[in-house]
Chains A and B, each alone.
Chain A
Amino acid sequence: MTIATRNGDTLVGKRMPRLHDDRMLRGHGRYVDDIDETGVLHAAIIRSPAAHGTITRFDASAARESGEAVLVLGPDEIGRLTDPLPTTWRIPGQHLAAVELAIRTVRYVGQPLGVVVARNRAVAEDLAELVEIDIDPLPAVVGIEAALAPDAPLLYPEHGGNVAGGIHFGPPVEELDALFAGAAHVVEREFAVQRINPSPMEPRGVLAEWIPSTEQLTVWASTQVPHLVRQEVAVGLRLRVDQVRVVTPDVGGAFGGKTTLYADEAMTCLAAKVLGRRVKWIEDRTENLTASYQGRGQQARCRLGLDADGRFTALHVHIHGDVGAFLSTAGSGPFQVAALTIEGPYRFGAAGATVTAVFTNAVPTGAYRGYGMQESAWIRERIIDEAARELGRDANELRLLNTIQPEQMPYTTGTMLTYDSGDYPAVLRRAVEMGETRRRPSTDRIRRGIAVTGNVEITGFAPSALLEMFQIHWSGYETGTIRVNEDGTVTVFSGVTPMGQGIETALAQIVADELGVPLEMISVQLGDTATAPYSNFSSQASRSLPLAGAALITAGATMRERMLGLAARALGVGVEEVKLDGTVFRAGTTGAEVTWRDVAHRGWMGWGRGETDKILLEETVSFDPPGITYAYSAHGAAVAVDLDTGKVTVEDYWTVNDSGVLVNPLIADGQIIGAIAQGLGTALLEEAAFDPETGQPLATSYLDYVLPLSEDVPDIVIEHHVTPSPIITGGFKGVGESGIQPPAATVGNAIANAVPEIAAGLTATPLSPSRIWTLLEQAGLEG
């Protein structure tokens, strides 16, 4: 990349506060529920009270006759007025290619069945209570085991089973079986990861406005993917995409939970269209905890084979993924990614992974930060730890013995991922070293332990050719536009969106460097399909910074050349003589000057250009990554386990992370720390549980869905390694999901180190006091 310098400083690499924090700190954030409410009507969603059953009656007459209802839509009306929503990523065998909006058979508690619109939310909720729904109950299928039982009730009898689809990566299982048969030692474990609620502090929400005269729908949505929402709204409501504009205002966190159009959001848009009015629906916390798609939710049987020296000869994992009531937009995606990334930073003689996606009567699962890679880290790092214990070896020594070496890069795994760059042993060794000073002694009833884990993650996802090969309907490339306005200010557009991760500031830093102008001249405008370049993938999969950043570097370099050329003609000198100093172009020979602003003005007047030069002072570049770029890390944790109570305290946590070139280390650290905090939530606290008989969700408020508080997250120590990505312009790799993947495995292994007597039982998260205490009791260690 070109590194334009002003006084020797670059903005890329500078630790600096974010540009929009001032506004947010004044209470001037503008989230979807903050938009002017003049003329707004409010929606409440009618939801299924049952986990499984057939709707025999949906009677909204009492609500309609109340005189208070502006509109009530039930399955009949919705069925007449909409089409199902398309999905982006399917799994072989998947029989449902779309998400139904008109529901006749309910398949989870909280499933949206209809919508009520009234003058305010409270009245809309009053009216929703008047809607009478009769449901012929069917037995609820709760959990993967129940779904796969031989006599299990079926969610889709016409489909013939509760298996939604399946896929295998790597060599055939028979080939792996032969290697296990010949291995000196085989470790086998069954692992589980609970369902997690992404739980952004701002729940979902949409404000939709249909203008009948122009037939245009504007949707303000708290989403990560405005273009995907536009695409889905258009299909769902039978509109052309150019009749729909989606705008994302400030987004109060997302974490994967806002990566599609949900049925309740589609119903709100439909209500606006039917009424020709502005209609708003804001998800409440109970809806968020029960009806927003959840993450994780899987069981996996893993086998690891080792030779007599401790080298990994074979690895196989069979993942059963709980997709819930139907396959959401990319419903099986996280399980497929868990399978693909099972090998991490290690070499195996051979490795393969099998995925079986399973329907259950629970809210569908989908994206949650980490997207399968938290699960693979948990399985892999725990089974390596178990192998070390069974063999009486040091776990870190075993890891290092099997770690991919830097000279082996690029390295292709058994599941056919090609790692691009990095020094995997270096971060592991450093994390082990950092742990040496962090060991604390145990006491009579407090056991202490320490562990280090390794991880590799997919970032900057993904080359469009790869997505085409798997028929995944996401735009893998990313586009950036730089416009120098007639007053010299610079507006940057990109298809990625802000959701609190600080992408606006990072992109501004990159563009300011490329153009060589002060940061204050840059405005990054994101999230509006009317102005943003197309990207239906947008901000997820640790792709915003590497891919949008790469596109903007190239666009910026071209724009800088164009501005220099225009300045040279204005000054009447050769372009090689012109230097940009701050906001002034200066001719080296004559000392003549012209301001950046004047050059911009001349440009828009069409003055001083060559005959074939374009006028539009705008550069747009699409960057399609030639491959996936892989970030990697090692994590360390020191824990204390209270033998009396089963409580685990994380006393120390550290990581050595390589996300390539860092644009703003303050933001990068914030991403890593925040993601580790979420990972600790998965490790120890959070669980979206269901009643095993009725399928009723049990964590319906923040009293029962337990998020980490400050006391649960120690100050985290971060060291960076920087291996510039060889395949991404700018050398960037992603960082948003780096922190969340290893904490459960790291904490689990640290508990195993503290209390080896219960190590073999540490196979399921959350490692809650109750779960740990039960293991302690089985080991005879409890008080």
Chain B
Amino acid sequence: MTVPTTPAPARMRTVTATVNGVTRSAETEPRALLSDFLRHDLGLTGTHVGCEQGVCGACTVLVDDVPVRSCLLLAVQADGRRIETVEALAQDGELSGFQRAMRDEHGLQCGFCTPGILMSVTAAEREGLTAEQTTTEVLGGHVCRCTGYQGIRAAIEHHWQEAGR
């Protein structure tokens, strides 16, 4: 069977954004979601897609420092913005303090929801929220099917303690 050639999609747009400190540019259809743009156009597959309904939180990234669902943003909306994903959290090859706490407290099992939680909690830490606010309000915006959340809460509490907050 021959593979028919398909016409190029109409009305492609160029999106340019600073992603993890690097200016990245790619062509995209207006309907493309930011989550798909990051994963499939920029190859940043650490951001996961769990529902595309805004509920599970696996796709959470930081846009201009603010945690948002990347499945509920169009890629074109990210034009000119600053985006951080899970790939940027380790500095100079070292896991961040909260990443280490997640490992030590067994805060992940299958690891699929983990990147979104890392981004939300990292933002909470930068914003100066308390451990209590982070384990309730911030973690409340994420679904984890594996851990029962206990290890994640322990990781937040221990990391906040260690950081003297």
Contact = CB atoms under 8 A, between A and B. Distances in A.
User: Are any A and B Cβ atoms less than 8 Å apart in their complex?
Assistant: yes
A713 B148 contact: yes
A253 B109 contact: yes
Interface string A187-219: 000000000000111110000000000000000
A250 B6 CA distance: 33
B56 A33 contact: no
Contacts of B58: 201
Contacts of B95: 22, 25-26
A707 B57 CA distance: 13
Interface in B36-58: 39-40, 44-53, 55-56, 58
Contact of B56 (A25, A69, A277, A702): A702
Contact of B147 (A33, A199, A275, A670): A670
Nearest to A680: B148
Interface residues of B, number: 60
Interface stretch (B73-81, B84-92, B124-132): B84-92
Contacts of A123: 6, 9
Contacts of A68: 6-7
Given A27-B87, A275-B1, A252 B48 contact: yes
Contacts of B56: 201, 285, 702
B135 interface: yes
B144 interface: yes
A70 B45 contact: no
Interface in A629-685: 666-667, 669-670, 673-678
A499 B112 CA distance: 10
Interface in B1-34: 1, 3-4, 6-7, 9, 29, 31-32
Given A67-B4, A500-B109, A713-B149, A28 B46 contact: yes
Contacts of B51: 285, 701-702
Contacts of B32: 122
A27 B86 CA distance: 6
Nearest to A42: B40
A122 B33 CA distance: 11
Given A201-B112, A201-B143, A29 B46 contact: yes
Contact of A500 (B48, B50, B110): B110
A203 B114 CA distance: 15
Contact of B112 (A252, A678, A715): A252
B62 interface: no
Given A702-B56, A703-B55, A24 B111 contact: yes
A670 B85 contact: no
The binding surface of chain B is classed by DSSP as loop
Interface in A37-76: 37, 67-71
Interface in B121-163: 135-136, 139-140, 142-153
A650 to B, nearest CB: 11
A18 B106 contact: yes
Contacts of B103: 17-18, 21-22, 25
B150 A277 contact: no
A118 interface: yes
Contacts of B86: 26-27
A713 B149 CA distance: 7
Contacts of A27: 44-47, 85-87, 89, 115
B108 interface: yes
B145 A702 contact: no
A202 B50 CA distance: 6
B113 interface: yes
Interface in A1-44: 17-18, 21-22, 24-31, 33-34, 37
A102 to B, nearest CB: 19
A702 B109 contact: no
Contacts of A118: 6
A437 interface: no
A711 B136 contact: yes
Given A33-B45, A202-B112, A677-B147, A670 B106 contact: yes
Interface string A241-253: 0000000001111
B112 A33 contact: no
B140 A709 contact: yes
Contact of B148 (A250, A274, A667, A676): A676
A27 B60 CA distance: 13
B7 to A, nearest CB: 7
Nearest to B119: A27
Interface centre among B4, B7, B39, B135 (most CB of A within 10 A): B4
B43 to A, nearest CB: 9
A673 B104 CA distance: 16
A106 B102 CA distance: 46
A134 interface: no
B83 interface: no
A727 to B, nearest CB: 28
Given A26-B87, A26-B90, A677-B147, A250 B49 contact: no
A28 B85 CA distance: 12
A709 B39 CA distance: 26
Contacts of B108: 21, 24-25
Nearest to A711: B140
B83 to A, nearest CB: 13
B118 A25 contact: yes
A284 interface: yes
A31 B3 contact: no
Contacts of A200: 110, 112, 145
Contacts of B48: 29, 31, 201-202, 252
A122 B109 CA distance: 31
A70 B2 CA distance: 9
B70 interface: no
A115 to B, nearest CB: 14
B106 A17 contact: yes
Given A27-B86, A702-B143, A673 B148 contact: yes
A28 B149 CA distance: 22
B106 A253 contact: no
Contacts of A499: 110
Contacts of B143: 201, 702, 707, 709
A27 B109 CA distance: 14
Contacts of A674: 109, 145-148
A676 B145 CA distance: 11
Given A252-B48, A252-B112, A253-B112, A707 B145 contact: yes
A443 interface: no
Contacts of B40: 37
A75 to B, nearest CB: 19
B34 to A, nearest CB: 14
A245 to B, nearest CB: 22
B150 A17 contact: no
A253 B147 CA distance: 11
A719 B106 CA distance: 18
25 contacts: A22-B103, A26-B46, A26-B99, A27-B86, A29-B114, A31-B48, A31-B112, A33-B49, A34-B39, A67-B4, A122-B32, A199-B145, A202-B110, A252-B111, A274-B1, A275-B3, A284-B52, A285-B56, A666-B106, A670-B106, A677-B147, A677-B149, A707-B145, A708-B148, A709-B143
Given A201-B112, A285-B51, A669-B106, 4 more contacts: A21-B103, A27-B47, A31-B48, A70-B4
- 8 closest cross-chain pairs (CB), A and B: A27-B46, A500-B110, A252-B112, A677-B148, A27-B86, A24-B111, A702-B55, A34-B45
